[in-house]
Amino acid sequence: MNPINPAELHDPGPFGYTHVVDSGAGLVAIAGQYASDPLGRVAVADFPAQVKLAFEHLGTALRAAGLDHRDVIRLGTYVVDHDADRLAVLGTHVNALWKGSPPAQTLLGVSSLAMPGMLFEVDALAVRRAGSATATPGPGQSLPGPRR
């Protein structure tokens, strides 16, 4: 297994996880991404801005593994105080990223997430297609293990 922590994302070590784990067998797991700042704090307060930033972080994590949104086969989305308006915001982002052909998704409405002020989180499972490159250390990556 190959853990990857892109330098563009906050250091997850103090929180007890790794942003990306490449199984080496084709599956790549992306930990829950949220609207974090460089220190792991919630960076923005409103729901639409949190969804936008969380999906940007998801893209950063995927690129660190040499993948992109087209490689995602499953999303897990977690919404605090889920309602129709929040579902519409989420749907807009998902449809824009996947051009109307989104991956499987499980949405959970929750009463709270890991940090105060967190309203949205997204995790993903991606598949490395045959012939695509395996992630290698590069700018913004630390391999192996959590960034220090």
How much is the pLDDT for 69?
Answer: 96
The predicted model scores a pTM of 0.87
Q: Which of 71, 48, 47 shows the shortest CA–CA distance to 59? A: 71
pLDDT at 64 over 60: yes
Give, as one character, the DSSP assignment of residue 42: B
Mean pLDDT (the chain) is 90
Q: Which amino acid is located at 128 in the chain?
A: R
pLDDT digits (tens, 9 = 90+) for 5-33: 999 999 999 999 999 999 999 999 999 99
pLDDT at 144 over 80: no
